[in-house]
Chain A
C-alpha cells in the first residue's frame, strides 16, 4: 500500500520555466489537496479537490493551477516559476474531506533560481 506518492522529490527550475508536480493516491480518497511549507510559516493550502472534476482555491493559489481528471491523481502546475515559489510542496488526501485526517506524501523540494 503506497498511500500518497509524490514525484519528483527534488527539482531545480529557472525563473519563468514551467513544470508539473505529480501526486497520486491509491486509497480511493475523494479529497486531495496541495500545501506548501516555508520556514517559520507552517503549511499553507494552495488548491484542493473534493472529487474528480472539482477543484477550488485555498489560501495561496496564485501562480498555481490544478486539475482532477481521476480520483487517483491531482497534479500541481507551475506555469511560470518565480523565486517566491521556492518551497517544499506536500500533497495530501483524506477519506472524509473538510481537511480532516489528512494523509501526506513525502514532499517535493523545489528551488527556483
Chain B
C-alpha cells in the first residue's frame, strides 16, 4: 500500500505564529490529499482537502500546498490560536481503480502556546 510519512510528530508554536506540517507519499499516481484535525476524545474532522490537479488551496487561515513532482504536500496554519491545538493527520488516496482506501500519516500534535 501507500507509504505516508508525516513530520514533525510534535509542534509547539506561540499564538499568532504560523505552523507547517509536511507529508510525503510514495505513489506518484495518488490523487486526493485531505487533512484531518482530531481534538481530544473526538473523531477526526476534515479541515481541508486537495486533488492532484490543483497545486494550492486556501480556506481562511488554513492552506494546503501540493508538490506532485516531489511527492509531498503541506498544511499551513497562519495566525494560530489556542483552539488550533489538536492532532493533525494527513491522508493520501492511491489512484488504482476502486480505491476507497485512505492511507493516513501518523499524526502531528500541535500545541499553540497563549
Contacts and interface: CB of A to CB of B under 8 A. Distances in A.
Interface of A: 4, 31, 33, 40-45, 48, 50, 56, 58-59, 90, 92, 97-107
Contacts of A41: 106
A100 B32 contact: yes
Interface string B92-105: 01000001111111
B89 A43 contact: yes
B1 interface: yes
Contact of A58 (B4, B45, B101, B107): B101
Contact of A43 (B42, B46, B104): B104
Contact of A107 (B32, B43, B45): B43
Contact of B43 (A50, A59, A97, A106): A106
Nearest to A102: B46
B104 A42 contact: yes
Interface in B69-95: 89, 91, 93
B43 A104 contact: yes
- Interface footprint category on B: 20 to 34
B59 to A, nearest CB: 13
Given A42-B107, A99-B93, A104 B44 contact: yes
Contacts of B89: 42-43
Interface string B37-64: 0000111111001000000000000000
Contacts of B36: 102, 104
27 contacts: A4-B43, A42-B105, A42-B106, A43-B89, A43-B91, A43-B104, A56-B100, A58-B100, A90-B43, A92-B43, A98-B32, A98-B93, A98-B99, A99-B91, A99-B99, A99-B100, A99-B101, A100-B32, A100-B34, A100-B49, A102-B34, A102-B102, A104-B43, A104-B45, A106-B41, A106-B43, A107-B42
Contacts of A40: 106
A90 B104 CA distance: 13
Contacts of B99: 98-99
